[in-house]
Chains A and B, each alone.
Chain A
């Protein structure tokens, strides 16, 4: 057989058309993950801490006579309304309609807060204590000896969406690569198309290349759509070495294709193969930080996640896409994913059968 691009092109085109005409495949590859992106984008999009509602009962000279500058900082933290009814104000705090109710008793500022909102109550107590202390310092006429300035380590423009996008993209790519490989292998085996192609003058290499090419194409489109939407609508800012995520994603796609092949080799039916791929990929996505950051997870869980390829794909993409790491940060994840791909492919090849019976 003379090597020719013809069979490769026509097989790729046949596989691609089969994918595009399968609404469920397109939905799960693109629409479904994008729904999560929009959902998370909506949840995390407004990152600024909303102001705390304060009910001021009666006259509170400490707040009323605040200097101009302090007033601005105070207003940034608290939305103040006034009331004459202490009981009603405390009732509002209790029901969550207000975060804090304040009154003056002599020189003492009394703040009524609710313990049901721990973050809010901590901010309330911290802020009010700071105001009281600041006012005391000012009244003493002495300049303060120490001062505090806080700076976030990330770029000012960094939003939580930046963390969510690479993780969701990793999950989307893992899912469609694994499903595609599993469903193709099983569908073709069941219809005996595999056998039919075995009797056609087309090499296994050409066949596999065509399937890989289509899956890689789909993965790159997923990436373009995710990053495009993230940048356009969710203020996603990519850091310098983000193009290094492309080869990383390619290796990751191969790794998850291998997992899909393994599922396809083990399962007897197409449905079984897709379910098995789902059974592997979905928990892996949770444990690999695709849906929420793992920083708060217990140590054993973080340790466990290190054996999951998706964890390394997500970490690598986070590093180069949003954490401003150099492109070399993608090398170790790529090596780990490649090793996974090789081992899993060998395993799938051992379990491979031409026919479903």
Chain B
């Protein structure tokens, strides 16, 4: 059964069509990403699924239930992390998660375990106002997960974090669907979606442009792979399936649609040392489907 079914969802704010006829399904246990630039309609889509907003038209079924209007049967089964840090003022990290735990009738010991799991034991007695951006997000994620929900919604969990903190958070996020939990994440970082998500929906101007696994989307581009090896062109004219061969300041760049054959040939030539292989990225996919550069 699908954890989430979204059919023909639309929502307008005045003249702006924030969400425009979006349909998709998320199976149980999937790590699902909604990506797109700011203002693409990611958050609105997420909040309609959570039950915070009423769609103008269309239909949402979440864990077999309608999320709108506020559905008390659903609430204990879902966890949400909103974009803003929605905390009680002037509480410490521990008090914060204990308060949320008690709302879900979860024992304090479980709350402490989550504090440990997100690496905030050292900061347990620090007030939320004094946490760093990354610690803040970690606590917010822990508060969303403290009651072990079946579906968890994370709205841009790594926004406004420095690259180091972002990567630290990926380690935490990547394990979230291990126990069969469904995770829905929005992000405007393409690399993040590539690393974390089983499938991604690319949203722009409220419309769903593509929906598939990051690998399949990139493969679908049929973009040639660029292989760079140090050194010069000597001995490389025998490499098969090359579309292009060029000397660059970094070495030699080989462009091919069949990287396996090329790498094989390079191995026989003992030219694998210092090699760099670059395939397409989700950003290339975005460029392909929207016809313009991706702007995060």
> A: which residues have CB within 8 A of B?
1, 4, 6-7, 9-11, 13-15, 17-18, 21-22, 187, 191-193, 195-202
Contacts and interface: CB of A to CB of B under 8 A. Distances in A.
A191 B88 CA distance: 9
Contacts of B127: 21
Interface string B41-59: 0000000001110000000
A181 B78 CA distance: 29
B90 A18 contact: yes
B178 interface: no
Contact of A192 (B84, B88, B89): B84
B260 interface: no
B87 A193 contact: yes
B95 A201 contact: no
A206 to B, nearest CB: 9
Report the 7 A-B pairs with minimum CB-CB distance, sorted nearest first. Answer: A10-B102, A196-B86, A21-B90, A201-B75, A193-B86, A192-B84, A14-B88
A200 B82 contact: no
B90 A201 contact: no
B46 to A, nearest CB: 11
B24 interface: no
B103 A200 contact: yes
B253 to A, nearest CB: 48
A200 B104 contact: yes
A7, A13, A200 interface centre (most CB from chain B within 10 Å): A200
B100 interface: yes
Nearest to B83: A192
Contacts of B95: 14, 17
A7 B82 contact: no
Contacts of A9: 102
Contacts of B86: 191-193, 195-196
A7 B103 contact: yes
B61 interface: no
A199 B144 CA distance: 10
B126 to A, nearest CB: 13
Given A191-B84, A195-B52, A14 B75 contact: no
User: Interface on chain B toward A: helix, strand, loop, or mixed SS?
Assistant: loop
A7, A10, A13, A196 interface centre (most CB from chain B within 10 Å): A196
Contacts of B76: 1, 201
A9, A10, A198, A199 interface centre (most CB from chain B within 10 Å): A199
Contact of A191 (B51, B72, B78, B85): B85
Contact of A18 (B78, B83, B89): B89
Given A18-B90, A192-B86, A1 B103 contact: no
A169 to B, nearest CB: 26
Contacts of A196: 80, 82, 86
A22 B20 CA distance: 45
B90 A22 contact: yes
B100 A199 contact: no
B90 A198 contact: no
B52 A198 contact: yes
Interface in B67-110: 70, 72, 75-76, 78, 80, 82-91, 95, 98-100, 102-105
A150 to B, nearest CB: 57
Nearest to A17: B91
A195 B72 contact: no
A29 to B, nearest CB: 15
A226 B197 CA distance: 61
Contacts of B102: 6-7, 9-10
B52 A10 contact: no
Contacts of B87: 191, 193
Contacts of B104: 200-201
A201 B51 CA distance: 13
Nearest to A194: B86
